[in-house]
């Protein structure tokens, strides 16, 4: 079959293809399936719950020129940065250095990695004597050898406190492990056995990918495969460009606040001007604050990755996910700012906290241009809670990176989902039964938080409350949260979602305090190495999503359903939705409050979708 | 004379019956239209149509999609979910990941519950070592019962307490109290349904069990009543997702095990035919109207898994035959995505309206339409001629779609078939290559109405040298129902480390489970000799996912022998790990996570008789499009007319009542004495 397909309205992508359509579809599916299978291999063999339960990793394929040719449903932030990581590695190492069976590791954020915990492994794939592509994966190691167990020290003041930096190094040469490199890593990580298991899981995953890629080349031949991947990249670029063309040309601007950085007083502005011009878009962060003293900075790779992530979300999800998608998107991030920090600034939280914020900022900027697509802000923080110590059962050191899902923002067409992982990732939570089996910390409760979803015509999703009790004499804890002081914003009259929070209650105490109140940390949400003891408790609040549209316009039926389900309280219904709720004879009934009556039939058309500007910063007390 | 064994497989479109008469070895197969609103009608109707007298029926096995459909259509009971206080939101929080990246229209799946208010916490707590942290008090139970009573709308109860897989005391006490207080409410308890760790997966499974239980109990009672009314007094069983049979009443009490009841029959029959032909390694593919089910037979056995999902994110972790399903069947719809790429499925036109050629109002071109356009199907002999396909309609539909794509209808039809073949091949890659098995070392066994039509092309794509088409391919799953044995799988979770456990402890563990499994089999009325199989789920200490390794019986009394067996089991685990991931961790501690014993009660199976060819007049020919070969004048032979053990060359179409086998030019086929078609696919 040689005919090329094009849909009735002749979208881009069908022209100038060198490989027939069926073969293209087959190869595209095959490559994505390969990425998924790499993921399964990692999950099944890795040691840390970060890998095998949370799945905080990504698997990606590159062609011989280092262009990304396939990805799958992994962590968007890693997928965005790994493009820069691999470009850097190939550039720094130069050609002709790879042998079959070589595996190279790298995690340096100043060489294109997202942050130190994320380690990238790379393997060249040979077909005959030729390098025909690269297989790579990127994963968050639970223990990178930072100043605090689990990494992510919320008060790091430079990169050296954030863990062991690895420039591109050979973990394996021609299939032989490089003992000296492994020894160096083991000597610097608190949990070397876990590091070994996890890195070997990554190596195993590369083996799986290598096998599949080789088999594809055996079936179709090098020519066809490379021509097909060229075509796929071209198609992705043209389709992404066409999607951008559908956004009305214009200059859009939005900003939000990073509340603090764990080290110094004061907050940071992240400001973005989005210029849509035909089939291209430029996101310019000029005007953002200078780089932070603490770890809230992003590298250029992180900022660009966050922008890509935003555009992937608001464009056609069927576009092949490869290098071509990124080409029509330009990112300007001035050096020395919070969105493109300079060595040796600390940055471990940029990848977890700044990144989702940037994605929400792009959404906010385009809310007017794409009113039918753009949601309100999601909870937008990973709620990084780190802890570690010596496990009494094993006598070994342990450390864990714990995080939470958040409420997602109300959408033009539906409520936001409750408890879904932050937009930069696609990790899972760690089951309580696995968490408690592995670590000496008990989960007393883990539940959705009533009224935490931002009120709106379409409500934001709910956040969660988790209460943890330390069940050994000493546990060292650290945190890196955001959105504890600055609300997840609503859109078009929607109200903000509830804030995040982290609180402590020492054994025997009645009430909860912030870590700032109890331990004098600079920030209530970003700190490291606080020593807790048996019976001490930590309460984590994951934020809700912002609301979309005026809550007074939400129908009484939907509000009643929320009250019946326990998502909104009667108090919240009266305060936010203007409905007095009563239960009569086993049924919930609603009466409009005078405020709701006065709001009358507010129409969708006259909504002010503008974000009201930087919010006031207020101290929070529990 | 009670000599006839009957298998009835109720699917969404057709109800298939296979009757095997032990006296003369005759096998009868027939299809009647399913009656989804009153399944009993088609069930009894099929028995009546078979002409078997009630008194002649010795045994009856039923496979059904009722449990699956109840879940998919969200038509089950209102379940009250009972769990450890503080963790009531387990079913709603789930695992917090997303099915798709970059899709803001995606909605998190809803649990099989009506309301978050139907989740009830009870004050109690067991810790990670199995220690009781908070005892379950009588007051706590009373308080829970009062809240359940106050709800007033619950139709079934599901209990899942934290760490119940380690210690069952609390769940048992609670279950006892609930049965006493709410005798009318079906109850499912997590340590009985799925004693696995991970509270969300366990909760979701026990909720699913409770969700389908009232309906399945009614269903089984209605069939039992119908059989009694028809004077059929017979011991009957249902096929579970693991391919084992379960006494019908017992099945209704553990209905989640029926989730893959239908496809399991096909895999069991596949295993049987593989055995018949002495094939060690076989991939089976069952292509029906909406989906293709793929299973792997390794060393003569079908693999098992526990990763069934009602929909994405709603797991039911039951032991089931490892069957991988993709949306590729005769009804799969061809469509063009936003990028101009032709796609086939996973949406299906189903049975109503069905493909365009059914003439029942279908407007979208399906795989069946494409096959008809290419001449692969005979419009006058679909389902043995009981259904007529409208060639003109199919042509018109294909021409319309093809015009928009600047192709000829035949080019479009060929592209549709090609993409569907590739989707099926991908499903096979997922279960073979991706798990380290090279499909070139396998035979492909194709069945289901559309399986033999696509089998040869799928085999060619995967370089599988041999295609096997069994007898009765169109009702092969029903045949499988008669080939199963009674089976009880007992899985107990308790972790042991290889450096801290002795063979005696493992042997004792196995002995206890084996006792429980045997007792349950006996309780179903099985009186013969039980076959026991043992397996251990293992991993390196620190990993979170296990690999199941079959082990020989470990005898506690023979200490040196037991130690050796255990050592061999560790070795086997290492071998599997290396095969899959190309590395082992030398000297690592191996953790044994759970122990499985399967108690199997063998029952008599039909023997596929040696067949004689009938007259050769059932031969015609027609014009058929083959991919690169273009339009070819192709011989069409009825299966019954095929000579035995004689090699025929493709292009060739072999027609029969329930299916059509398509051989490409150059392929060769032989019909064995057991009536199995063996196709040499070639390189």
Query: For residue A208, which residues of chain B lie inside 8 Å, CB to CB?
Result: 434, 581
B84 and B210 part of one domain:
yes
Cβ within 8 Å of residue A250, ≥6 positions away: A275, A276, A369
A373, A427, A464 member nearest B104 (Cβ): A373
Q: Where are the beta strands (DSSP E) in B163-208?
A: 187-189
Lowest mean pLDDT among A154-158, B172-176, B577-581: B577-581
User: Residue B145 sits in which domain range?
Assistant: 72-216
A74 and B CB contact within 8 Å: yes
- Hunting for tokens 């108090």 — which residue is that? A571
Query: Which of helix, strand or coil describes residue A456?
Result: coil
B59 and B117 part of one domain:
no
Overall average pLDDT of the B475-503 stretch: 87
Q: Is residue B58 part of a domain?
A: yes
> What's the rounded Cα separation, in Å, for the pair A150 and A477?
9
pLDDT at B74: 87
B96, B338, B343 member nearest A428 (Cβ): B96
pLDDT at A491: 95
- Hunting for tokens 């075509």 — which residue is that? A231
Cβ <8 Å between A200 and B583: yes
pLDDT at A4 over 80: no
Please, what's the largest Cα pairwise distance for chain B?
81
Q: Where are the beta strands (DSSP E) in B339-401?
A: 342-348
pLDDT at A622 over 50: no
B81 and B168 part of one domain:
yes
Q: What is the DSSP string of B451-515?
A: HHHHHHHHHHHHT--EEEE-SSGGGHHHHHHTT--EEEEEEEEEEEETTT--HHHHHHHHHHHHH
A566 and B CB contact within 8 Å: yes
Overall average pLDDT of the A245-273 stretch: 95
Q: Which of B201, B216, B231 is the last residue of a domain?
A: B216
pLDDT at B290 over 90: no
B63 and B79 part of one domain:
no
Cβ <8 Å between A432 and B87: yes
Lowest mean pLDDT among A69-73, A160-164, B90-94: A69-73
pLDDT at A598: 84
**Mean pLDDT for chain A overall:** 90
Kindly state the helix (H) or strand (E) to which residue B637 belongs, with its residue range. strand B630-638
Cβ <8 Å between B116 and A419: no
pLDDT at A609 over 70: no
Query: For residue B117, which residues of chain A lie inside 8 Å, CB to CB?
Result: 564-566
pLDDT at B33: 76
Q: Is residue B306 part of a domain?
A: no
pLDDT at A6: 30
Q: Is residue B286 part of a domain?
A: no
**Mean pLDDT for chain B overall:** 89
Cβ <8 Å between B542 and A47: yes
> What's the rounded Cα separation, in Å, for the pair B18 and B8?
7
Q: Model confidence at B115, in pLDDT bands (50, 70, 90)?
A: very high
- Hunting for tokens 């079936």 — which residue is that? A219
pLDDT at A620 over 70: no
Q: Is residue B147 part of a domain?
A: yes
pLDDT at B557 over 70: no
Q: Which of A21, A24, A433, A534 to mutate to test the interface with B (most CBs of B within 10 A)?
A: A433
B78 and B200 part of one domain:
yes
A 518-557 → B contacts, CB under 8 A:
none
Cβ <8 Å between A53 and B429: no
CB contacts < 8 A (A, B)? 238
> What's the rounded Cα separation, in Å, for the pair A490 and A498?
11
pLDDT at A73: 73
pLDDT at B513 over 80: yes
Q: Is the peptide bond before B353 cis (omega within 30 degrees of 0)?
A: yes
Query: For residue B162, which residues of chain A lie inside 8 Å, CB to CB?
Result: 432-433
Cβ within 8 Å of residue B166, ≥6 positions away: B126, B128, B129, B130, B493, B494
A370 and B CB contact within 8 Å: no
A47, A313, A320 member nearest B543 (Cβ): A47
pLDDT at B501 over 80: yes
- Ranges of H-type helices in B524-636: 559-581
Percent of the residues in chain B that have a pLDDT greater than 70, as a whole number: 96
Cβ <8 Å between A433 and B199: yes
pLDDT at A84 over 80: yes
- pLDDT tens-digit map of A277-324: 999 999 999 999 999 999 999 999 999 999 999 999 999 887 888 999
pLDDT at A14: 43
Q: Model confidence at B587, in pLDDT bands (50, 70, 90)?
A: confident
B192 and B173 part of one domain:
yes
Half-sphere exposure of B606 (CA within 13 A, CB side): 32
pLDDT at B619 over 70: yes
Structural domain total, chain B: 4
A 407-466 → B contacts, CB under 8 A:
411, 413-414, 417-421, 426-429, 431-434, 436-437, 442-448, 464
A45 and B CB contact within 8 Å: yes
Report whether B22 contacts B52 (CB < 8 A).
no
Cβ <8 Å between B104 and A375: yes
A15 and B CB contact within 8 Å: no
Cβ <8 Å between B89 and A30: no
Distance from CA of B633 to the nearest CA of A (A): 20
Q: Which of A497-511, B1-15, B55-69, B554-568 shows the highest mean pLDDT?
A: A497-511
Lowest mean pLDDT among A343-352, B491-500, B649-658: B491-500
- pLDDT tens-digit map of A585-607: 777 888 898 888 887 643 333 33
Q: Where are the domains of chain A?
A: 21-240, 375-548
CA distances from B417 to A181, B400, B427, B450, B463 (A): 52, 17, 15, 12, 18
- Hunting for tokens 């499974």 — which residue is that? B205
pLDDT at B631: 86
Q: Which of B542, B573, B601 is the last residue of a domain?
A: B601
B30 and B81 part of one domain:
no
Please, what's the largest Cα pairwise distance for chain A?
80
B631 and B547 part of one domain:
no
pLDDT at A41: 85
- pLDDT tens-digit map of B157-197: 999 999 999 899 999 999 999 999 999 999 999 999 988 88
Sign of CA dihedral B476, B478, B482, B486: positive
Report whether B257 contacts B240 (CB < 8 A).
yes
Percent of the residues in chain A that have a pLDDT greater than 70, as a whole number: 93
A4, A204, A446 member nearest B87 (Cβ): A446
B140 and B188 part of one domain:
yes
B61 and B126 part of one domain:
no
Q: Model confidence at A15, in pLDDT bands (50, 70, 90)?
A: very low
Report whether A509 contacts A517 (CB < 8 A).
no
> What's the rounded Cα separation, in Å, for the pair A264 and B657?
80
Kindly state the helix (H) or strand (E) to which residue B677 belongs, with its residue range. strand B677-680
Cβ <8 Å between A442 and B406: no
Sign of CA dihedral A437, A442, A443, A445: positive
Q: Which of B338, B408, B583 to mutate to test the interface with A (most CBs of A within 10 A)?
A: B338
The gap from C-alpha A611 to its chain's centroid, in whole angstroms, comes to: 23
pLDDT at A604: 30
Q: Model confidence at B223, in pLDDT bands (50, 70, 90)?
A: very high
pLDDT at B590 over 50: yes
Distance from CA of A557 to the nearest CA of B (A): 15
Lowest mean pLDDT among A327-336, B215-224, B593-602: B593-602
Cβ <8 Å between B93 and A429: yes
What residue in B sits closest to A405 (Cα-Cα)? Answer: B96
- pLDDT tens-digit map of A524-576: 999 999 999 999 999 999 999 999 999 999 999 999 999 999 999 999 999 99
Query: For residue B94, which residues of chain A lie inside 8 Å, CB to CB?
Result: 419
Cβ <8 Å between A433 and B581: no
Overall average pLDDT of the A317-342 stretch: 94
Half-sphere exposure of B391 (CA within 13 A, CB side): 12
Overall average pLDDT of the B615-640 stretch: 82
A25 and B CB contact within 8 Å: yes
pLDDT at B25 over 90: no
A403 and B CB contact within 8 Å: no
B57 and B93 part of one domain:
no
Overall average pLDDT of the A316-337 stretch: 93
Query: For residue A587, which residues of chain B lie inside 8 Å, CB to CB?
Result: none
A 283-312 → B contacts, CB under 8 A:
309, 312
Q: Is residue B354 part of a domain?
A: no
**Structure ipTM:** 0.90
Percent of the residues in chain A that have a pLDDT greater than 90, as a whole number: 76
> B577 burial class (0-12, 13-18, 19+ CB within 10 angstroms)?
buried
What residue in B sits closest to A39 (Cα-Cα)? Answer: B434
Q: Which of B548, B573, B601 is the last residue of a domain?
A: B601
- pLDDT tens-digit map of A107-135: 999 999 999 999 999 999 999 899 999 99
pLDDT at B629: 65
CATH code for position B176: 3.40.50
């Amino acid at each position: 079959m040689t005919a090329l397909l094009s849909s009735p309205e002749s979208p881009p992508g069908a022209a100038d293809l060198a490989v027939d359509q069926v073969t293209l579809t087959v190869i595209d599916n095959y490559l994505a399936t390969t990425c998924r299978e790499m993921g399964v291999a990692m999950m099944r063999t890795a040691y840390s719950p970060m890998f095998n339960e949370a799945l905080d990793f990504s698997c990606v394929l590159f062609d011989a020129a280092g262009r990304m040719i396939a990805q799958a449903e992994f962590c968007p932030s890693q997928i965005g940065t790994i493009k820069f990581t691999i470009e850097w590695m190939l550039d720094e190492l130069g050609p002709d250095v790879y042998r079959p069976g070589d595996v190279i590791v790298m995690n340096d954020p100043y060489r294109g990695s997202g942050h130190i915990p994320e380690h990238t492994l790379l393997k060249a794939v040979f077909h005959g004597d030729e390098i025909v592509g690269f297989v790579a994966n990127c994963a968050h190691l639970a223990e990178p050898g930072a100043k605090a167990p689990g990494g992510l020290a919320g008060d790091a003041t430079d990169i050296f406190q954030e863990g062991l930096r690895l420039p591109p190094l050979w973990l394996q040469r021609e299939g032989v492990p490089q003992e000296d490199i492994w020894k160096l890593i083991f000597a610097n990580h608190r949990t070397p056995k876990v590091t070994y298991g996890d890195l070997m899981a990554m190596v195993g995953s590369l083996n799986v990918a290598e096998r599949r890629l080789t088999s594809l080349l055996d079936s179709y031949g090098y020519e066809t495969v490379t021509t097909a991947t060229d075509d796929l990249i071209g198609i992705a670029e043209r389709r992404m460009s066409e999607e951008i063309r559908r956004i009305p040309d214009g200059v859009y601007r939005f900003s939000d606040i990073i509340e603090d950085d764990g080290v110094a007083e004061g907050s940071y502005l992240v400001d973005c001007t989005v210029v849509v011009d035909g089939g291209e878009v430029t996101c310019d962060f000029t005007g953002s604050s200078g780089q932070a003293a603490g770890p809230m900075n992003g590298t250029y790779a992180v900022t660009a990755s966050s922008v890509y992530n935003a555009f992937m979300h608001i464009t056609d999800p069927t576009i092949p996910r490869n290098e071509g998608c990124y080409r029509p998107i330009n990112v300007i991030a001035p050096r020395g700012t919070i969105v493109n920090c300079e060595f040796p600034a600390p940055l471990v939280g940029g990848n977890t906290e700044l990144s989702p914020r940037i994605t929400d900022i792009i959404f906010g900027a385009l809310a007017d241009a794409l009113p039918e697509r753009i949601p309100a802000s999601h909870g937008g923080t990973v709620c990084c809670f780190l802890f570690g110590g010596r496990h009494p059962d094993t006598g070994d050191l342990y450390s864990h990176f714990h995080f939470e899902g958040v409420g997602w923002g109300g959408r033009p067409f539906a409520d936001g989902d409750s408890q879904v992982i932050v937009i930069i990732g696609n990790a899972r939570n760690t089951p309580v039964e696995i968490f408690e089996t592995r670590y000496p910390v008990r989960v007393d409760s883990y539940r959705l938080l009533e009224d935490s979803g931002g009120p709106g015509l379409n409500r934001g999703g709910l956040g969660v409350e988790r209460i943890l009790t330390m069940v050994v004499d000493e546990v060292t804890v650290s945190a890196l949260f955001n959105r504890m002081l600055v609300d997840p914003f609503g859109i078009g009259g929607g109200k903000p979602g509830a804030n995040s929070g982290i609180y402590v209650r020492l054994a025997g105490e009645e009430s909860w305090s912030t870590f700032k109140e109890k331990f004098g940390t600079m920030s209530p949400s970003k700190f490291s190495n606080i020593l807790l003891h048996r019976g001490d408790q930590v309460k984590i609040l994951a934020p809700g999503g912002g609301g979309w549209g005026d809550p007074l316009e939400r129908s009484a039926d939907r509000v009643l359903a929320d009250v019946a389900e326990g998502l909104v309280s009667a108090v919240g219904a009266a305060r936010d939705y203007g409905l007095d709720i009563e239960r009569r004879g086993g049924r919930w009934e609603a009466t409009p409050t005078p405020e709701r009556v006065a709001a009358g039939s507010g129409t969708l058309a006259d909504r002010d979708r503008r974000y009201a500007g930087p919010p006031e910063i207020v101290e929070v007390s529990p | 004379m009670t000599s006839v064994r009957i298998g009835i497989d109720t699917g969404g479109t057709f109800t298939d019956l296979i009757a095997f008469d032990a006296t003369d070895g005759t096998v009868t197969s027939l299809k009647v239209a399913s009656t989804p609103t009153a399944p009993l009608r088609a069930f009894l109707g099929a028995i009546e149509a078979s002409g078997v007298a009630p008194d002649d029926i010795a045994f009856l096995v039923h496979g059904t999609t009722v449990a699956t459909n109840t879940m998919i259509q969200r038509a089950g009971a209102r379940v009250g979910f009972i769990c450890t206080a503080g963790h009531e939101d387990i079913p709603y929080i789930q695992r917090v990941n997303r099915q798709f990246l970059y899709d803001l229209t995606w909605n998190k799946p809803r649990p099989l519950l009506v309301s978050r208010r139907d989740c009830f916490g009870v004050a109690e707590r067991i810790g990670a070592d199995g220690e009781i942290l908070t005892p379950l008090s009588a007051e706590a139970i009373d308080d829970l019962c009062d809240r359940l009573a106050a709800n007033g709308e619950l139709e079934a109860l599901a209990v899942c307490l934290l760490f119940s897989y380690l210690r069952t005391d609390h769940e048992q006490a609670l279950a006892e109290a609930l049965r006493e207080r709410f005798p009318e409410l079906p109850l499912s308890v997590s340590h009985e349904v799925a004693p696995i760790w991970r509270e969300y997966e366990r909760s979701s499974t026990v909720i699913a069990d409770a969700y389908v239980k009232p309906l399945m109990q009614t269903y089984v009672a209605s069939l039992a009543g119908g059989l009694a009314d028809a004077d059929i007094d017979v011991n009957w069983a249902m096929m579970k997702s693991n391919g084992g049979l379960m006494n019908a009443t017992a099945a209704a009490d553990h209905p989640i095990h029926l989730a893959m009841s239908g496809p399991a029959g096909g895999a069991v029959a596949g295993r049987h035919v593989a055995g018949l032909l002495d094939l060690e390694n076989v991939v089976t593919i069952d292509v029906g109207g909406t989906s293709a089910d793929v299973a792997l037979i390794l060393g003569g056995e079908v693999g098992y898994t526990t990763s069934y999902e009602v929909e994405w994110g709603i797991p039911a972790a039951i032991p089931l035959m490892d069957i991988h399903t993709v949306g590729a069947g005769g009804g799969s719809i061809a469509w063009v995505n936003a990028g101009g790429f032709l796609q086939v499925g996973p949406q299906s036109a189903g049975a109503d309206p069905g493909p365009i050629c059914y003439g029942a109002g279908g407007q979208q071109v399906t795989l069946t339409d494409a096959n008809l356009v290419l001449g692969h199907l005979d419009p006058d002999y679909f389902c043995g001629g009981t259904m007529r396909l409208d060639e003109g309609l199919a042509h018109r539909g294909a021409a319309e779609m093809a015009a928009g794509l600047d192709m000829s209808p035949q080019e479009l039809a060929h592209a549709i078939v090609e993409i569907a073949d590739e989707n099926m091949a991908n499903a096979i890659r997922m279960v073979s290559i991706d798990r380290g098995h090279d499909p070139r070392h396998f035979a492909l066994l194709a069945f289901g109405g559309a399986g033999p039509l696509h089998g040869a092309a799928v085999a060619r794509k995967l370089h599988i040298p041999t295609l096997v088409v069994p007898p009765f391919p169109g009702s092969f799953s029903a045949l499988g129902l008669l080939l199963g044995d009674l089976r009880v799988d007992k899985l107990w979770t308790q972790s042991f480390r290889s450096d801290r456990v002795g063979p005696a402890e493992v042997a004792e563990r196995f002995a206890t489970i084996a006792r429980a499994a045997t007792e349950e089999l006996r309780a179903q009325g099985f009186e013969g000799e039980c076959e026991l199989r043992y397996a251990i789920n293992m991993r390196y200490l620190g990993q979170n996912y296990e690999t199941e390794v079959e082990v020989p019986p470990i005898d506690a009394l023979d200490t040196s022998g037991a130690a050796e067996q255990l050592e061999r089991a560790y070795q086997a685990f290492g071998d599997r790990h290396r095969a899959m991931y190309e590395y082992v961790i030398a000297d690592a501690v191996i953790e044994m996570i759970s122990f499985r014993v399967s108690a199997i009660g063998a029952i008599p199976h039909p023997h596929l008789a040696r067949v004689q060819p009938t007259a050769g007049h059932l031969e015609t020919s027609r014009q058929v499009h083959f991919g690169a070969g273009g339009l070819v004048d192709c011989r069409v032979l009825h299966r019954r007319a095929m000579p035995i053990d004689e090699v025929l060359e493709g292009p060739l179409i072999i027609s029969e009542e329930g299916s059509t086998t398509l051989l490409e030019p150059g392929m060769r086929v032989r019909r064995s004495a057991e009536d199995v078609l063996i196709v040499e696919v070639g390189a």
